[in-house]
Structure formats: structure tokens, C-alpha cells
Structure 1
């Protein structure tokens, strides 16, 4: 029954959110995206993205909405925030992590439940959007905390899963802000901010490495410009 509701009412609600969010970004941001065909041609991909601002999730969802079903992975605090819960529920976001006050057994059970949902979605051909750093940048470079093991765990369970790297540029506070002249007819020379999304295939991540080594290699990929990394 839930699957039927998701494919009917949920689909209409997702499209309504898409129209609203996409209209907002069309008005205030000049967004370009390269490599969308890679996502369209790769069902069930793990999409790992840089995290430069709080706009990342809705912006990526709006830009990739018409390409393929993408399920975002979010921290449980973000998912259960009263202001964000409903759109995340409609988008079928998958909450991960758990309150530190929970017992170790309960936290492990939640982790296994979340991982099961992620793997099931991938098997159905849905792509998973994951920010390896876990939070928006507080420094110039992308930093993956030692305890964050999402990408490592997913690939460790399913090493043949295709991986795509998505880099955002022009949106974060540590990135140059450049603008077009979209609003010049109102006398404003500073118009929409230029933002770019670049998607590339990654095929050399090794989940057999220990977590620290794996995260260090992933950090390099997240912090190396696309044109130089491939």
C-alpha cells in the first residue's frame, strides 16, 4: 500500500516540490550541470557529492529530478527537524545515524536498518545521494571525519556498485561568487549566482582498504577539480 501511495500521491507531491524549488533556483541562480547522462545511464548508482552549503540537497534534487530517481541520505537530526520533515518524507530521504543517548545495541540496530534501506533502494535501480563529509564545509577543503563510514560500508557490502562523483562549485562561502546580469532590467548589475554541478564516474575506490585509508583517498577525489582528477 505504501509503495502505491508513493508512486501516485507521492509522485504528484514530488513534482509540485520540483516546480517550486526549480523555479526558485532558476530565478536566483544560474546553474549548469555536466555529466547528467552518466546518471541517466547508471541506474542504482552511489552518488557521492561535495557539501559546500545548506542549499546542496534541494539544489541537486531539483537539477537531477528529471534525470533519475535519487534518494538522499540525511542525518537523523536533519530528517526529524519539524520544518524539513515533510519534504524529506515525500522525497523518501533515508535518515542515518542516531542520538548518542541511545544504547549501543539500539544504535547498531538503527545503523543496520538504514543500511538495509539504502541497499534495497540501490537494488531497485534508485540512486543514492550521499555527502561523505556529513556536513556543509566549515573550511576550504572537504574533510571526512574518521568515524564516517557510509561510502566504505556500502561498497564493502556491494563492491561492484557503480559510483559517481558530483562536485559543486560557486555555491559555498569558500568558493568565488560570480553573477550574471539576469536582473539588469531592474537596474541591478549583480544578478544570479553562477553554480556548476559536474558528475564523473569513479572506478578506483577500494573498499578492502581500512577506513582511514579509504576516506583519505575519497577526500582527495572530492577536493581535486574535476578537470584535473580524471
Structure 2
């Protein structure tokens, strides 16, 4: 029954949210997205993205909506927030992590269950959007803490999982802000903010590395500049 509702009512509600969110970003952001067509030929892809602002999740989901079914991962605290639980539920977001106040056995069980869901989604040909740094940047560069193990665990369990790297430029508070003249007829000097996104297959991330080395390599990849600049 749940699968039927998701494919019928859920599909219509997702499309409604897509129209609203895509319309908002079309009005206030001028977005270019290189490489998104590559996702169509790579079902069940793990998308590893930079996390430069709170707009990342909805903007990426809206841009990729018509390309492939992408299920975002979110922190448990955001997922269970009353203010955004419903849209995240409709988007079939996957909550990750757990409260540190939980007993270790309960946290471990939640982690195993989350990984099972992720592998099931990937196995069904849907893609997963994951922000390896875990939170919005508080500094100019991306930092992946040595103890964060989500990406490492996913790829160790299924090393053949297709992986793509998604980098965003021009959206975060530590990134260059450029604007067009879209709103100049209203007398506004700043129009839509330019945002560049780049999605590319990732082949040089070895899950056989120990966790610290793996995260260091992942951090290096996330901080590489977008080819061609911004």
C-alpha cells in the first residue's frame, strides 16, 4: 500500500513541490548544471556533494528531478523537525545519524538499518544524494571529519556502486557572488545570483583505505575547483 501511494499520490505531491521550488530558484538564481545528463546512464548512483549553503538540498533535488529519481539524505534532527518533516517525507529523504544520547547498541542498530535502506534504494536503480561533510560549511573549504564513516561504509559494502562528485560554486557565503540584470526593470542592481554546478563520475576513491585516509582523499576531491572556473 505504501509503495502504491508513493507512486500515485506521492508522485503528484512531489511534482507540485517541484514546480514551486523550481519556480522559486528560476526567479532568484541563474543556475548552470554541467554533466547532469550523465546521471541518466548510471542508475543506482551515489552522489557525493559539497555543502555550501542550506539551499543545496532543495536546489539540487529540483534541478535533478526531471533527470533521475534522487533520494536525499538528511540529518535526523532536520528530518524530524516539525517545520520540514512533511516535504522531506514526500521527497523520500533518508535520515542519517542518531542522537548521541541514545545507547550505543541502539545507535548501531539505527546505523545498520539506514545502510540497509541506502543499499536497497541503490539496488532498485534510484540514486542517493549525500553530503560527506555532514553540515553546511563554516569555513571556505570543505572539511570531512576523520570519524564520519557513512560514505566509507556504503562503498565498502558495495564497492561497485557508481559514484559521482557534485560541486557547487557561487551559492555559499564563502563563495564569489555574481548577479545578472534579471530584475533591472525594477531598478534593482542585483538580479539573479549565478550558480555553477558540476557533476562528474568519480573513480579514484578507494574504499579499501582506512577511514582517516579515505576521508582525507574525499575532502581533497570535494575541494578541487570546478573545471573552467566560475
What secondary structure sits across from 2:227 in the alignment? helix
1:154 counterpart residue number? 154
| Pairing 1:84–2:84 present | yes
The one-character-per-residue Cα deviations of 1:137-184 (angstroms, maximum 9, x if unpaired) are 000010011221111110000001110000000000000000000001
- What is the CA–CA distance in structure 2 between the aligned matches of 1:214 and 1:59, rounded to whole Å? 28
1:73 counterpart residue number? 73
What secondary structure sits across from 2:52 in the alignment? coil
- What is the CA–CA distance in structure 2 between the aligned matches of 1:89 and 1:70, rounded to whole Å? 13
RMSD of aligned Cα (Å): 0.8
- What is the CA–CA distance in structure 1 between the aligned matches of 2:159 and 2:204, rounded to whole Å? 11
The one-character-per-residue Cα deviations of 1:194-226 (angstroms, maximum 9, x if unpaired) are 001100110111101000000000111000113
Question: 1:37 offset after TM fit, Å?
Answer: 1.0
- What is the CA–CA distance in structure 2 between the aligned matches of 1:175 and 1:6, rounded to whole Å? 37
Write the mapping of 1:121-200 to structure 2, written as runs, cut at 5 A: 121-200=121-200
Write the mapping of 1:92-103 to structure 2, written as runs, cut at 5 A: 92-103=92-103
Question: 1:20 offset after TM fit, Å?
Answer: 0.2
What secondary structure sits across from 1:166 in the alignment? strand
- What is the CA–CA distance in structure 2 between the aligned matches of 1:164 and 1:101, rounded to whole Å? 34
- What is the CA–CA distance in structure 2 between the aligned matches of 1:213 and 1:146, rounded to whole Å? 8
- What is the CA–CA distance in structure 1 between the aligned matches of 2:185 and 2:70, rounded to whole Å? 37
- What is the CA–CA distance in structure 2 between the aligned matches of 1:72 and 1:193, rounded to whole Å? 24
Query: Contact conserved, 2:164 with 2:202, CA < 8 A, in 1?
Result: yes
1:116 counterpart residue number? 116
Runs of 4+ residues deviating >4 angstroms: none
1:224 counterpart residue number? 224
Which stretches in structure 1 are left out of the alignment for 5+ residues?
none
Number of paired residues? Answer: 228
- What is the CA–CA distance in structure 2 between the aligned matches of 1:105 and 1:205, rounded to whole Å? 30
- Name the TM-score, length of structure 2 as normaliser: 0.98
Which stretches in structure 2 are left out of the alignment for 5+ residues?
none
Query: Contact conserved, 2:146 with 2:216, CA < 8 A, in 1?
Result: no
- Name the TM-score, length of structure 1 as normaliser: 0.98
1:38 counterpart residue number? 38
The one-character-per-residue Cα deviations of 1:26-60 (angstroms, maximum 9, x if unpaired) are 00000110101111111100000000000000000
- What is the CA–CA distance in structure 1 between the aligned matches of 2:119 and 2:125, rounded to whole Å? 10
